[in-house]
Amino acid sequence: MWDYSEKVKEYFFNPKNAGVLDDANAIGEVGAIACGDALKLMLKVNTDTHVIEDARFQTFGCGSAIAASSALTELIIGKTVDEARKLTNRDIADFLDGLPPEKMHCSVMGAEALAAAVASYRGEAVDDDDHEDGALVCKCFGVDEGMLGRAIRTNKLTTLEQVTFYTKAGGSCATCHEAVEEVLAATNADMVAAGELLPGEAFTARAATAPAPAPAARMASAPITIAPPKPKASATPAQPGAAAGLTPAQEILAIGRVIDEMRGTFKADGGDVSLVDVSGDLILVHLTGTCAGCQLAGATLGGVQARITSTLGRPVRVVPVQQV
C-alpha cells in the first residue's frame, strides 16, 4: 500500500470541487483511459477580470490522481489566469504534503491540464495531431518534448527513472528510453548553462559502452516513407517468407490480411490499426483513436506480431509509428 500523506487521503476520500461545471468557459483534458489516468479540468473564468471564479474536475485514476486534481482546483480558484498559469506540478505536490515518487506524474497531469485549459481560454488551439509542443517522444503514454522539458526543469530531474515517475514516459515498452535520455541530457545542459543545476548533477548522454540504439528506438522520430519493400537478393540467407515460400509481394498481402482480420480487436477498443510499411523484420503500423499512445495496444500488437510471424514463417517485430 502506498504511503500517502494525510492530505492526499483527505483530498481523495473527500475531494473538493469534483464534478461537472455547467457554465465552464475553459476546459483542459489530458491523459487517456488506456494510460490509466485522465483529467478533465473545467474553469469558469470572468472574461473581464480574467479571474478563475470556479473550477471543477473529473478524474479517472488512482487515489493520488484524484487528490492532485482536487488540489489543483483549490489552488487556482480566485487566481487570475496569468497567476494560475505560473503554478507548477510542484505546487500541487507541495499542497498535498508530497506524493510518493512513483506518483509524481499525477501532479504533472494536473499542471498539464491547467496549461491546456488556459490555452483553451485564450483561444490557442492545441492541436493534438500536430504535437506543436515538440516531437512526440514516448508513444506509449503520448508524452512530447515540451512536456518532458517542463517536468525536467520544474522538478530538476536528472535520471531516466525520475522522468518516468514524473511523466510516465518510458514506463512501458522502453523503446523511447534513448530518446527520453536525449531530451534529458539536452535540458540538463541548458539548466547547467542557466545556473539552475550543478554540472556534476546533470545527466549526460549514455556512456560509450551503451549498446547501439535498436532500430525501433529511432522509429519515433525517423520519417516513415510508404514504399513497397525492396526485393531481397536471392542470395540473402534469411529471405523473407522463405519458410512459408512467399515472395515479398505475397508477404505484403499476407501481412495486410492479418492486420485486416485483427482490426476488429482494435475497433472494439475504439481505435484502429493500419499498415504503414514493411522493412525487413520490422512491420510498421499506425494506430489511431484510443489505441494511439496506449500501452495496451502493445499487448494487442503482440498478438498481431505473433500472427504475422506464424503466417510468414519468420520472426518479425510490429512497431507502432506516427504517420507522416
Partner 1 sequence: MQPIYLDNNATTRTDPRVVEAMLPYFTEQFGNASSMHAFGADVGAAVGAARHSLQALLGAEFDHEVVFTSGGTESDNTAILAGLRVMPDRNEVVTSTVEHPAVLSLCDWLERNEGVVVHRIPVDSQGRLDIDAYRAALSDRVAVVSLMWANNETGTIFPVEGLADLAKEVGALFHTDAVQAVGKVAINLKDTAIDMLSLSGHKLHGPKGIGALYVRRGTRFRSLVRGGHQERGRRAGTENVPGIVGLGRAAELAAAYMADETTRVRDLRDRLEQGLLQRIGNCFVTGDPLDRLPNTANVAFEYIEGEAILLLLNKAGIAASSGSACTSGSLEPSHVLRAMDVPFTAAHGAIRFSLSRETTAPEIDRVLEEMPPIIARLRELSPFWTDGTPTADAFNPAYA
106 catalytic, yes or no?
Answer: yes
Which residue type is seen at 296? L
DSSP state of 229: P
- Residue 174 binding: pick among partner 1, ligand FES, none (C-beta 5-8 Å cut-off by kind): ligand FES
Binding site for partner 1 (CB under 8 A): 1, 12-13, 15, 18-20, 28-40, 58-63, 65-66, 102-103, 112, 116, 119-120, 126, 128, 133, 141-142, 144, 147, 164, 168, 171-172, 265, 268-270, 290, 293-296, 298-300, 303, 306, 310
Count of other CB atoms within 10 angstroms of residue 311: 17
Say if CB 144 and CB 50 are below 8 A apart: no
Crossing angle of the two packed helices 104-121 and 63-76, in degrees rounded to 10 = 40
- In the bound state with partner 1, the residue whose beta carbon lies nearer, of 125 and 226, is 125
Say if CB 153 and CB 191 are below 8 A apart: yes
- In the bound state with ligand FES, the residue whose beta carbon lies nearer, of 119 and 173, is 173
Report which secondary-structure segment, H or E, holds 282.
strand 282-289
Strands 271-279 and 26-32: unpaired
- Exactly one of 67, 169, 276, 308 binds ligand FES (CB under 6 A); which one? 169
296 near ligand FES (CB under 6 A) = no
Tell me the closest approach of the beta carbon of residue 18 to ligand FES, in angstroms: 30
Phi/psi at 96 (5° precision): -90, 15
- Residue 208 binding: pick among partner 1, ligand FES, none (C-beta 5-8 Å cut-off by kind): none
φ/ψ region of 28 (left if φ > 0, alpha if ψ in -120 to 50, else beta) reads beta
- In the bound state with partner 1, the residue whose beta carbon lies nearer, of 34 and 92, is 34
- Exactly one of 175, 187, 305, 322 binds ligand FES (CB under 6 A); which one? 175
Q: Which residues face 299 on adjacent strands?
A: none
Closest CA to 110 of 8, 40, 54, 51: 40
Report which secondary-structure segment, H or E, holds 152.
helix 145-155
151 near ligand FES (CB under 6 A) = no
Which listed residue (106, 140, 176, 291) is catalytic? 106
305 near ligand FES (CB under 6 A) = no
- In the bound state with partner 1, the residue whose beta carbon lies nearer, of 252 and 294, is 294
Which residues are marked as active site? Answer: 35, 106
Contact positions toward ligand FES, by CB under 6 A?
138-140, 169-176
